[in-house]
Amino acid sequence: MDYNIDMQNHKRRRITFVIVLAELLVCQSALGADTGDLSVAVYEVGSLVPQPCRAWVSVGKERLFNPNTKSCTPYTKDCSFSCNGYFVITIPTGTATIHIERGKEYRPVDKEVTVETDQTTYVKITLERWINMSREGWYSADMHCHFGLDNPTVLKQLALADDINLEPILTLWNHQQTDTTDDAWPNWPTGSSFSASGQYIITLRNQEIERIGGDAFESVGALLMFGLKRPIKMPQGNGLYPCDAVLARMARETSPDCVIDADKPIWGENVVGVALGLFDSVQVCHNHYHRESTLLMGWGMAGAIAEDEPEDWGANELFHRTNQTYYRFLNCGFELAVTGGSAMGVMPVPLGYSRTYAKLDGSLTEANYLKAIRAGRTFATSGPILILTANDLNCGERIQYRTGRSKPIQIKAELRSIQPIDSLELIANGEVIEKIDLQNRTASPVLEETLILTYPPKRSGWIAARAIFKSPGGRLRLAHTSPVYITVDGKPTVSKADAQYMIRWIDRLLDVSEKPGRYSNETEKTDVQAIYKKARQKYAAIAWMAEQICQDG
CATH topology assigned to domain 1-28+145-365: TIM Barrel (3.20.20)
| Class of domain 31-127 as given by CATH | mainly beta
Q: Superfamily assignment of 383-493 in CATH?
A: Immunoglobulins (2.60.40.10)
**Per-residue model confidence (pLDDT) at position 18:** 40
Q: What is the 3-state secondary structure (H, E, C) of 109-156?
A: EEEEEEECCCCEEEEEEEECECCCHHHHCEEEECCCECCCCCCHHHHH
- Asked, colleague to colleague, whether 1-28+145-365 and 31-127 share their fold, the answer is no
465-434-318-540 Cα dihedral, nearest 10 degrees: 80
Q: Is the pTM of this model over 0.85?
A: yes
The domain limits of the chain are 1-28+145-365, 31-127, 383-493, 496-548
**Per-residue model confidence (pLDDT) at position 206:** 94
531-537-542-544 Cα dihedral, nearest 10 degrees: 170
Determine the Cα–Cα distance for residues 412 and 256; give it in Å rounded to an integer.
34
Summarize pLDDT for 523-550 with one digit per residue, the tens.
999 999 999 999 999 999 999 999 998 7
- Closest by CA to 502, choosing from 291, 334, 311, is 334
- Closest by CA to 466, choosing from 545, 401, 525, 395, is 395
**Per-residue model confidence (pLDDT) at position 296:** 87
Q: Which residues of the chain have pLDDT under 50?
A: 1-26, 28, 178, 553
Summarize pLDDT for 406-440 with one digit per residue, the tens.
999 999 999 999 999 999 999 999 999 999 999 99
Determine the Cα–Cα distance for residues 437 and 421; give it in Å rounded to an integer.
9
**Per-residue model confidence (pLDDT) at position 19:** 40
